[in-house]
């Protein structure tokens, strides 16, 4: 042991590091801040280190070439021993890291930790969040499969909406005229050199500020932050009611971080790696591209925004949102920290959480997308065909063959883009059905040019039978004669 | 001290010129379009819309299959063609042709187009992007080269009908 100490002393004499390290370890934190609520940041850092390690190991095999990236991922998945596990660790690590960074941010926001004097720590944190999202997106691109290819197309299409310089920006984003080898290399450079380098630097800065300024004190209702007195109050608090960071606080960080790493490993083991899905061949158009989990909300937003609002929303919302986050500590740098006395903060947080989870949930089954193979894959339920006339059955055939099913459900299967038609005859009269089929409207294309009159007659006859037994069909009150004819029992409903 | 800062700033500014020039490399004033052979007319039956593909005229050896670009070819009759990009005008997902209902449908956000490429419904603000084309020696030739987006489609549209007549 004595020689170990001698070696240590030799190094310390030259490095002069032991004093600052000891100071950092033993610095006093408010005893209530040594809490299970204050473990998310350090867990995110642990995952970042895990991502660096697994990322370097993957880079040993990955080929950043449009022609071979996909094949090299397949080799990792299937040929190299445990290659699949490393890919799975990196993929799940990414998901967990985004989640933890978000949770960390929510906690910091609700605990008022961004207030004086920690404004800059928060701002650096905002950039760390943006870079984490940048890593998640560029990582998805590096998994150079169909989803990545068309995801890049979506990115290029959004970029192309920038006024005046949109075209130039698209070519700069893609590194050329099309999504290809140069595009992949751009994102490779971002994912492997540029963003990680910045992340390491900013994480260091973020940590340094936490050490220098001290961890946020536990928010107490009524304990108000004032620039003039805060520093003195904080110093008094840590002196009177403080505990050394090591070991009183750090053991919780270590236990939680260990649990998170085990959770990542378990997910990797049980669920395996993400993709790659089909190969990035743009001539294979039988694909339904979807973004990764953390961008699903954007996918929903792009489907649900009114078309004329899309471009302004896409181009203005992100800068406004980022500006709001950066300005937040200047807008409310003083005052109450406790969420019990900050109803607006809680409301904003709840709204953001509800909106994000609703959009994400909707994206899981994307009701706005036509089901491209419903017309050929989903049979009509027998009930809607039993006891129907020849004309009505002919109409059912038209309904399937003309891909109506891709957007309309019958009997619980089919697309959700349009309304489900199980009870359409209760809602629409014969004339309204004909008009809707021929002219379209709402989200429906007009079929006037694509259906012969005989097909329209058959289709509408079939649609008129779609109502629950015992419910009368819709009728046109302005036309008593027509209404009487419609009220007569149809052959379909004996 | 002041001189040193000035000297280094000047050198940094000088170095920035080639670096920025390098980064702006993908921008080309003459754009990225070129005539590409799509195939003999016999490949495209009259009155039908078919998927065709071509090798992008601007490629790198490491582009692999990403440089194989698909497009929809609609032959109305004789030499009257329309050639559409597969990329939805909304956000670029690949639209699929349904001959039975005469519609193009997009799997992403539900954009729908009629057979002539005009917008039918859904989020797209316009019809499908079209490539300029001409017929020479019994071959269909289109002007292509770049991913069509709202900003990069202008050149694709230019002189569609006139080139057809010529």
Residue A7 lies in a domain: no
Q: What are phi and psi of A468, to 5 degrees?
A: -65, 145
Q: Does A332 touch chain B (CB under 8 A)?
A: no
Rounded distance between C-alpha atoms, residue B110 and residue A395, angstroms: 24
Q: Is the pLDDT of residue A486 over 70?
A: no
Q: Is the pLDDT of residue A291 over 90?
A: no
The residue among B130, B109, B121, B107 whose CA lies nearest residue B49 is: B130
Bridge partner residues of B39 (DSSP): B140
Residues B54-69: tens digit of each pLDDT: 999 999 999 999 999 9
Give the rounded distance of the alpha carbon of B90 from its chain centre. 14
Rounded distance between C-alpha atoms, residue A169 and residue A180, angstroms: 16
- Same domain, residue pair A355 and A407: no
Rounded distance between C-alpha atoms, residue A364 and residue A358, angstroms: 10
Residue A442 confidence class, pLDDT cut points 50, 70, 90 = confident
Residue A450 confidence class, pLDDT cut points 50, 70, 90 = confident
DSSP class per residue in A177-235: SSSSHHHHHHHHHIIIIIHHHHHHHHHHHHHHHHHHH-PPPPP-TT-EE-TTTHHHHHH
Q: Do A283 and B110 touch (CB under 8 A)?
A: no
User: Is the peptide bond prior to B92 cis by the omega test (within 30 degrees of 0)?
Assistant: no
Residues A198-218: tens digit of each pLDDT: 999 999 999 999 999 999 999
Q: Is the pLDDT of residue A480 over 80?
A: no
- Same domain, residue pair A266 and A338: yes
Rounded distance between C-alpha atoms, residue A45 and residue A86, angstroms: 19
Indicate the pairing of strand B96-98 with strand B103-105.
antiparallel
The CATH number of whichever domain residue A427 belongs to comes to: 1.10.760.10
Q: What are phi and psi of A79, to 5 degrees?
A: -95, -40
Ranges A296-310, B76-90, B143-157: which has the least confidence:
B143-157
Q: Which of A314, A345, A365 is the last residue of a domain?
A: A365
Residue A8 lies in a domain: no
Choose from A174, A290, A370 for mutation: most chain B CBs within 10 A. A370
Long-range contacts formed by B108-112: CB under 8 A, 24+ apart:
B108/A150, B108/A154, B108/A288, B108/A289, B108/A299, B108/A303, B108/A369, B109/A302, B109/A303, B109/A368, B109/A369, B110/A303, B110/A368, B110/A369, B110/A370, B110/A407, B110/A417, B110/A443, B112/A370, B112/A445
Q: If you measure CA to CA, which chain A residue comes closest to B89?
A: A157
Residue A487 confidence class, pLDDT cut points 50, 70, 90 = low
Determine the length of chain B. 166
Residue A5 lies in a domain: no
Residue A263 lies in a domain: yes
Q: Does A66 touch chain B (CB under 8 A)?
A: yes
Average pLDDT along chain A: 92
Rounded distance between C-alpha atoms, residue A272 and residue A71, angstroms: 18
Residue A85 lies in a domain: yes
Q: The domain containing residue A203 runs over which residues?
A: 27-365
Rounded distance between C-alpha atoms, residue A290 and residue A287, angstroms: 9
Rounded distance between C-alpha atoms, residue A208 and residue A24, angstroms: 10
Q: Is the pLDDT of residue A481 over 70?
A: no
- The interface pTM score, or ipTM, of the predicted complex is 0.90
The CATH number of whichever domain residue A158 belongs to comes to: 1.20.810.10
Q: What are phi and psi of A222, to 5 degrees?
A: 95, -20
Q: Does B27 touch chain A (CB under 8 A)?
A: yes
- Same domain, residue pair A329 and A188: yes
Q: Does A150 touch chain B (CB under 8 A)?
A: yes
- Contact, A288 vs A372, CB < 8 A? yes
- pLDDT value of residue A448: 86
Q: Which of A323, A348, A365 is the last residue of a domain?
A: A365
Residue A72 lies in a domain: yes
Q: Do A308 and B94 touch (CB under 8 A)?
A: no
Mean pLDDT of B24-49: 91
Q: Residue B26: which of A171, A302, A402 has the nearest Cβ?
A: A171
- Same domain, residue pair A416 and A385: yes
- pLDDT value of residue B158: 39
A452: closest CA of chain B, how far (Å) = 11
Domain count of chain A? 2
- pLDDT value of residue A98: 96
Mean pLDDT of A91-95: 96
- Same domain, residue pair A220 and A357: yes
- Contact, A365 vs A296, CB < 8 A? no
pLDDT-above-90 percentage for chain A: 77
Q: Does B42 touch chain A (CB under 8 A)?
A: no
Residue A9 lies in a domain: no
Q: If you measure CA to CA, which chain B residue comes closest to A68?
A: B64
Q: Do A181 and B87 touch (CB under 8 A)?
A: no
- pLDDT value of residue A488: 53
- Same domain, residue pair A179 and A263: yes
- pLDDT value of residue A294: 85
- pLDDT value of residue B47: 92
Q: Which of A317, A337, A365 is the last residue of a domain?
A: A365
- Same domain, residue pair A332 and A423: no
Residues A232-264: tens digit of each pLDDT: 999 999 999 999 998 999 999 999 999 999 999
């Amino acid at each position: 042991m004595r020689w170990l100490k001698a070696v240590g002393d030799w190094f310390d004499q030259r490095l002069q590091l032991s004093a600052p390290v000891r100071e950092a370890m033993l610095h006093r934190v408010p005893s209530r801040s040594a809490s299970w609520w204050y473990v998310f940041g350090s867990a995110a850092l642990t995952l970042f280190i895990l991502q660096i390690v697994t990322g370097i190991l993957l880079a040993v095999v990955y080929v950043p070439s449009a022609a071979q990236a996909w094949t090299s991922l397949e080799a990792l998945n299937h040929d190299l021993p445990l290659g699949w596990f490393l890919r799975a660790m990196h993929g799940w690590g990414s998901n967990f890291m985004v989640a933890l960074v978000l949770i960390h941010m929510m906690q910091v926001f609700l605990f008022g930790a961004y207030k004086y004097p920690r404004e800059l720590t928060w701002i650096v944190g905002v950039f760390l969040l943006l870079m984490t999202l940048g890593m998640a997106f560029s990582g998805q691109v590096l998994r150079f499969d169909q989803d990545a290819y068309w995801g890049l197309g979506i990115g290029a299409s959004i970029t192309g909406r920038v006024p005046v310089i949109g075209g130039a920006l698209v070519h700069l984003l893609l590194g050329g005229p099309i999504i290809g080898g140069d595009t992949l290399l751009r994102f490779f450079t971002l994912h492997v050199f540029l963003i990680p380098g910045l992340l390491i630097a900013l994480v260091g800065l973020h940590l340094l500020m936490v050490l220098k300024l001290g961890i946020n004190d536990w928010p107490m209702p009524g304990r108000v932050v004032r620039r003039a007195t805060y520093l003195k109050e904080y110093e008094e608090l840590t002196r009177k009611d403080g505990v050394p960071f090591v070991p009183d606080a750090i053991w919780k960080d270590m236990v939680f971080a260990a649990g998170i790493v085990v959770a990542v490993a378990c997910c990797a083991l049980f669920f395996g790696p993400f993709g790659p899905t089909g190969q990035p061949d743009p001539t294979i158009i039988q694909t339904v591209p979807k973004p990764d989990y953390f961008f699903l909300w954007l996918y929903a937003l792009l489907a649900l925004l009114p078309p004329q609002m899309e471009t302004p929303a896409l181009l203005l919302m992100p800068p406004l949102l980022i500006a709001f986050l950066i300005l937040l500590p200047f807008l409310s740098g003083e005052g109450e920290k406790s969420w019990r006395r900050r109803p607006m903060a809680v409301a904003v947080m709840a709204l953001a959480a509800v909106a994000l989870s609703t959009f994400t949930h909707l994206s899981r089954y994307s009701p706005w997308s036509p089901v491209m193979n419903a017309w050929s894959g989903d049979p009509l339920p027998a009930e809607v065909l039993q006891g129907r006339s020849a004309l009505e059955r002919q109409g059912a055939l038209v309904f399937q063959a003309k891909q109506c099913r891709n957007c309309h459900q019958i009997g619980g299967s089919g697309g959700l883009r349009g309304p489900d038609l199980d009870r359409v005859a209760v809602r629409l009269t014969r004339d309204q059905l004909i008009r809707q089929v021929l002219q379209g409207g709402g989200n429906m294309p007009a079929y006037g040019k694509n259906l012969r009159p005989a097909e329209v007659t058959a289709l509408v006859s079939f649609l008129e039978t779609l109502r629950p037994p015992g419910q009368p069909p819709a009728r046109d009150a302005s036309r008593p004669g027509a209404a009487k004819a419609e009220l007569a029992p149809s052959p379909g409903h004996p | 001290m002041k001189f040193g800062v000035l000297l280094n700033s000047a050198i940094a500014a000088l170095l920035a010129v080639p670096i920025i020039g390098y980064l702006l490399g993908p921008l080309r004033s003459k754009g990225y379009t070129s005539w590409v052979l799509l195939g003999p007319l016999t490949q495209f039956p009259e009155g039908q819309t078919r998927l065709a593909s071509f090798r992008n005229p601007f490629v790198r050896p490491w582009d692999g299959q990403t440089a194989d670009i698909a497009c929809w070819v609609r032959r109305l009759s004789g030499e009257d063609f329309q050639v559409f990009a597969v990329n939805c005008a909304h956000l670029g997902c690949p639209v699929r042709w349904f001959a039975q209902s005469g519609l193009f449908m997009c799997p992403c956000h539900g954009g729908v187009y009629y057979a002539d490429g005009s917008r039918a419904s859904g989020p797209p603000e316009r019809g499908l992007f079209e490539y300029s084309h001409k017929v020479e020696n019994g071959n269909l030739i289109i002007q292509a080269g770049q991913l069509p987006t709202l900003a990069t489609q202008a050149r694709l549209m230019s002189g569609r009908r006139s080139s057809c007549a010529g």
